Amino acid sequence: MKKLVIFGVGLIGGSVALALKKAGSAPLIVGVGRSIESLNQALKLNVIDTLETNIHKAVGDADLILIATPVAQTAGILRSIKPHLNKQAVITDAGSTKGDVLSCAKEILGEQFNQFVGGHPIAGAEKSGVSAANSDLFLGKNVVLTPALETNIHAVTGVTQLWKACGAKVSEMTAENHDSIFAAVSHLPHLLAFALVDDIASRPNAAQLFSFAASGFRDFTRIAGSSPEMWRDISLANKTALLSELTAYQDELSQLKKLLTNKDGAGLQALFERASVARNAWASSKK
């Protein structure tokens, strides 16, 4: 790979660039984005080698194009690059939903859809922007690829090599399976954190409540500091699976409410013990 073009040089896109530079395997890295100020900052921080505002010059001779923007921008970017793609260019993304991304990529790219590989790095931070980029962000982290049946095997190999060069562990699954899994273990927790903070912040005594909030509140709500634009797009893109998970969670809350109403200490302890055992087993497996 001689030339990598990154649309969206923020936390994810910037961290990919820094990881490749640190690994010593960096191609020419070109940054493209909505904000010239942000691109100039990325250039100043040596995250990218050059910036480009002309789409043809950016992607015409690109070997790999990474779309690392909020998912709602993906369709517009694909439309803008479609007329300028060369036959060897591989296109991938880093969005947190995959069904919607693959659907719009197939519609927009047409016969060049086989050059597109859906991707999702399972890594991030509550801060966004290129200043938050970290060369070690993907070390030991999972990256899920969701190639379609039509996807060229060489495109999958190229994207796999990209993420492995960043230190990530790469696996594959269908887009449908991906969206179902991450609605449960990623998207739902973010919605719950946002909802709790919004609830507390909207109360008349919010200042007093926040003044007494400690580590439990901090740990539970850390992800509510994430990008609102990004999580708006993710929530809407994965609406069906997320609504199903919200219903399941509401059922669990109803069960808790019933146990409390009935002063059912044994039932509460049994539920807490099941959750505690499962959580500790998961935490141990991650060490």
Whole-number pLDDT of residue 1: 87
Whole-number pLDDT of residue 286: 81
Cβ atoms 3, 89 nearer than 8 A? no
Q: Is residue 226 pLDDT above 90, yes or no?
A: no
Please compute the mean of the pLDDT values over residues 268-275 and round it to a whole number.
97
Within the chain, which residue ranges are assigned CATH 3.40.50.720? 3-172
Within the chain, which residue ranges are assigned CATH 1.10.3660.10? 177-286
As a whole-number percent, the residues of the chain with pLDDT over 70 amount to: 99
Q: What does each C-alpha distance from 238 to 56, 158, 187, 232, 249 come to in angstroms?
A: 32, 27, 9, 10, 16
Query: For the chain, what is the mean pLDDT?
Result: 95
At residue 102, the 3 state secondary structure works out as: helix
Whole-number pLDDT of residue 230: 86
Write out the H or E segment, with its range, that includes residue 151: none
At 26, the pLDDT band (50, 70, 90 cuts) reads confident
What secondary structure, in 3-state letters, does 197-223 show? HHHHHCCCCHHHHHHHCCHHHHHHHHH
Whole-number pLDDT of residue 129: 86
Residue pLDDT, tens place only, 241-255: 999 999 999 999 999
CA dihedral of 7, 146, 126, 252, whole degrees rounded to 10: 150
Those residues whose C-beta lies under 8 Å from the C-beta of residue 53, and which sit 6 or more positions away, are 32, 36
Residue pLDDT, tens place only, 37-65: 889 999 999 999 999 999 999 999 999 99
Category of 9 on φ-ψ map: left (φ > 0), alpha (ψ -120 to 50) or beta:
beta
Please compute the mean of the pLDDT values over residues 18-35 and round it to a whole number.
92
pTM: predicted TM-score of the whole model, two decimal places: 0.87
Whole-angstrom Cα distance, residue 87 to residue 188? 39
As a whole-number percent, the residues of the chain with pLDDT over 90 amount to: 90
CATH T-level fold of 3-172: Rossmann fold (3.40.50)
Q: Is residue 97 pLDDT above 70, yes or no?
A: yes
At residue 38, the 3 state secondary structure works out as: helix
| Residue that has been written with the tokens 């479609």 in this structure | 82
At 126, the pLDDT band (50, 70, 90 cuts) reads low
Residue pLDDT, tens place only, 144-197: 999 999 999 999 999 999 999 999 999 999 999 999 999 999 999 999 999 999
Strand partners, 64: 4, 90
Please compute the mean of the pLDDT values over residues 198-225 and round it to a whole number.
96
Q: Which tokens go with 265?
A: 């200490």
Looking at the domain that runs over 177-286, which CATH code has it been given?
A: 1.10.3660.10
